[in-house]
Amino acid sequence: MKTSFIIFAVILTVLVILLICGLVFFFVSAVSSGEKAKAETNTYTISEKFDKINIQSLEADIIFKQSDNEECDVVCVEPEKVHHNAVIENGTLKITVEDKRQWFERFGSFVSQSITVYLPSDHYDSLEIDNKTGNISVPSLFSFESASIHSTTGSITFNSSVNNLLGIETTTGGIRIDGTKAGEMKLSVTTGSADIENVNCDGDLSINVSTGRTLLTNVSCASVSSEGATGSITLNDTVATDYFAISRSTGSVHFQNSDATRITVKTSTGSVSGTLRSEKIFKASSSTGKITVPETSKGGLCEITTTTGSVKIEISE
């Protein structure tokens, strides 16, 4: 019995070693193939008119530029076995991708993919982007009735104006919005930062960040609502005609010369501090932290609740 067990153990060890060697060979081959992978540039010229844009991609950076004529050029830099297609369907510019690589060929592929879209007009009805890995940049040259952007891994920079809803979601990456005017904003980041600057939003501005920093600077809107698990939020020169509704599990909340008609802040672990522009009726509580708020008796309600953390609010002079 003992001899049989030893023989079985030896055979099993040999099989494991062979399996590991096989995996190493596969990965080395994949990396070698990636090093040899060549990039090719394909250009699609679109002469038909369109008022909507829909882009579905996997690993490409997506960039928008102004066309110097009345045609739209889509310039794709891609590996030999990855091809993007650009067509017009029912007034929509559709850009899709076909990936013919084997799964092991994706390892060690060092080709940097990109899609550059040269747009002939400065305004479009809608923009929809679904990208897995890659950065997205939408400059201030353009405007849209609505815009929706989803990215798994990658940073999103948005500077255009949107008349109705601007929705941006990224799992791992950052969101930066600067100089944008929008009807409504819904932003979501799982792991990463959100930087919102010089923004005028007619309706509600919603920002959900699971893990990461949130910064609003020079923002005007109807309301700000923000939820987060881990990370701080800072509001600099941010004014809402209706309310601030902010909650954090772990992280601080800071106001700098900001204001809203009514304010609600809830944190588990983290302090709440800063300056507001106008007087409030304060209702603040903390289980273990110190509370310092102005003794004012007019203005909207400012309700601050924290479990572990201090509260220190002042009114700007």
pTM, rounded to two decimals: 0.85
The pLDDT of residue 31? 47
Q: Which residue has the higher pLDDT, 133 or 159?
A: 159
Domain boundary assignment for the chain: 1-121
Q: Which residue has the higher pLDDT, 113 or 36?
A: 113
Q: Which residue has the higher pLDDT, 181 or 82?
A: 181
The pLDDT of residue 112? 84
Sole residue written with tokens 């747009």: 119
* CB neighbourhood size of 149 (10 A): 22
**For range 99-113, the mean pLDDT:** 62
What distances in angstroms separate CA 275 from CA 18, 87, 105, 159, 296, one per listed residue? Answer: 66, 53, 55, 28, 14
Give the pair of three-digit tokens for residue 120: 């002939």
**For range 245-253, the mean pLDDT:** 94
Burial 3-17 (b: 16+ CB within 10 A, else e): eeeeeeeeeeeeeee
Half-sphere exposure of 105 (CA within 13 A, CB side): 12
Residue-wise pLDDT tens digits, 144-170: 999 999 999 999 999 999 999 999 999
The pLDDT of residue 292? 96
Residue-wise pLDDT tens digits, 165-224: 999 999 998 999 999 999 999 999 999 999 999 999 999 999 999 999 999 999 999 999
pLDDT over threshold 80, residue 27: no
The proportion of the chain whose per-residue pLDDT surpasses 90, expressed as a percent, equals: 73
Nearest to 275 by CA among 217, 316, 311: 316
Q: Tell me how far apart the alpha carbons of residues 113 and 38 are, in angstroms, rounded to a whole number.
A: 11
State the sign of the Cα–Cα–Cα–Cα dihedral 294, 297, 300, 304.
positive
The pLDDT of residue 35? 46
What distances in angstroms separate CA 204 from CA 148, 186, 187, 220, 289, one per listed residue? Answer: 16, 8, 11, 10, 32
pLDDT over threshold 50, residue 239: yes
pLDDT over threshold 50, residue 34: no
pLDDT over threshold 80, residue 238: yes
Q: Tell me how far apart the alpha carbons of residues 146 and 94 are, in angstroms, rounded to a whole number.
A: 16
Nearest to 69 by CA among 95, 47, 43, 94: 47
